[in-house]
Chain A
Amino acid sequence: MLNFKTSLKKTALSIATGSLMLGMAMSAPATAKTFEPQQVTDMLHLVLESDRTIYTKKVVKRLANKHKVIKATESFEDDKSLPLPAQMFRFGAEAVADKTDKFSYSLLSLWPINKQNKPTTELEKKGLEYINANKGKNFYGEETLGGKKYFTAVYADVAVATPCVGCHNNHKDTPKKDFKMGDVMGGVVIRIPLK
Chain B
Amino acid sequence: MSRNILFWLLWLSGTVAIGGYLTTTMFYNGDRSSLLIGKTTSGHHQIELSCNTCHGNGFTDGDTIQKACLSCHENELKVSKDSHPIKKFRDPRNAARLEQLNAMKCVTCHTEHKPELISSMGMGVTIPKDYCFKCHADVGKDRPLTHKDLNFEGCASSGCHNYHDNRALYENFLEKHAKQPEMKLTQLINNLNYEKLSEEYGGLKRGNPLNRTEANAPKEHINQKLLDTWHDDAHAKNGVNCSSCHQPNKEKQAWIKKPGIAVCATCHKEENKSFLAGKHGMRLAPNMLQSKADPFGLFKEKKLSPMRPELARLPMKQSAHGTELTCNTCHSVGKNNHKFNIQKAKVQACLSCHDDEHSKAYLTSPHHELWQKELKGELPKGSGVTCATCHMPRIAVEDEYENEVFIITHNQNDNLRPNEKMIRSVCSSCHGLQFSIDSLADPNLIKKNFHGRSAFKIESIDWVLKRSSKPEENK
Contacts and interface: CB of A to CB of B under 8 A. Distances in A.
B1 interface: no
A146 B95 contact: yes
B142 A77 contact: no
Nearest to B170: A75
A115 B95 contact: no
Interface stretch (A37-45, A63-71, A98-106, A159-167): A98-106
A146 B90 CA distance: 12
A97 B172 contact: no
Contact of B173 (A75, A98, A150): A75
A172 interface: yes
B81 interface: yes
A77 B90 CA distance: 24
B190 interface: no
Contacts of A116: 135
B87 A94 contact: yes
A33 to B, nearest CB: 27
A83 to B, nearest CB: 13
A98 B78 CA distance: 14
Contact of A146 (B99, B176, B467, B475): B99
Nearest to B167: A78
A31 interface: no
Contacts of B471: 172
A4 to B, nearest CB: 15
B90 A97 contact: yes
Interface in A170-188: 172-173, 175
A95 B170 CA distance: 23
A168 interface: no
A180 to B, nearest CB: 20
Nearest to B139: A115
Given A75-B173, A148-B92, A172 B467 contact: yes
Interface in B71-99: 81, 85, 87-88, 90-99
B173 A104 contact: no
B91 A104 contact: yes
Given A77-B81, A172-B471, A189-B93, A146 B172 contact: no
Contacts, number: 63
B468 interface: yes
A145 B95 contact: yes
B301 interface: no
A32 B148 CA distance: 58
B474 interface: yes
A101 B170 CA distance: 31
Contacts of B176: 78
A93 B468 contact: no
Interface string B366-391: 00000000000000000000000000
Nearest to A124: B93
Interface residues of A, number: 29
A121 interface: yes
B138 interface: yes
B474 A172 contact: yes
A93 B90 CA distance: 10
A101 B91 CA distance: 8
Nearest to A171: B471
B96 A120 contact: yes
A193 interface: yes
Contacts of A79: 172
Contacts of B81: 77
A75 B172 contact: yes
Contacts of B99: 146
A191 interface: yes
Nearest to A90: B88
B95 A97 contact: no
A79 B152 CA distance: 31
Interface in B92-147: 92-99, 135, 138-139, 142
Given A115-B138, A172-B467, A175-B475, A106 B90 contact: no
A78 to B, nearest CB: 7
B91 A146 contact: no
Contacts of B135: 116
Nearest to A175: B475
A98 to B, nearest CB: 5
Contacts of A148: 92, 95
B93 A145 contact: yes
A93 B135 CA distance: 20
A142 interface: no
B467 A191 contact: no
Nearest to A191: B92
Q: In this complex, which of B87, B91, B467 has the most chain A Cβ atoms within 10 angstroms of its Cβ?
A: B91
Contacts of B97: 120
B172 A104 contact: no
Given A75-B170, A98-B90, A101-B90, A173 B95 contact: no
Given A75-B170, A77-B81, A172-B471, A94 B88 contact: yes
Contacts of B88: 94
A86 to B, nearest CB: 14
Given A97-B87, A98-B87, A173 B92 contact: no
A93 B91 contact: yes
Q: In this complex, which of A95, A101, A106, A173 has the most chain B Cβ atoms within 10 angstroms of its Cβ?
A: A173
Interface string B282-314: 000000000000000000000000000000000
Interface in A69-94: 73-75, 77-79, 93-94
A48 to B, nearest CB: 14
Nearest to A177: B475
15 contacts: A74-B172, A97-B87, A104-B92, A106-B91, A106-B93, A115-B139, A116-B135, A124-B93, A145-B95, A145-B96, A146-B92, A172-B468, A173-B142, A173-B474, A191-B93
Interface of A: 73-75, 77-79, 93-95, 97-98, 101, 104, 106, 115-116, 120-121, 124, 145-146, 148, 150, 172-173, 175, 189, 191, 193
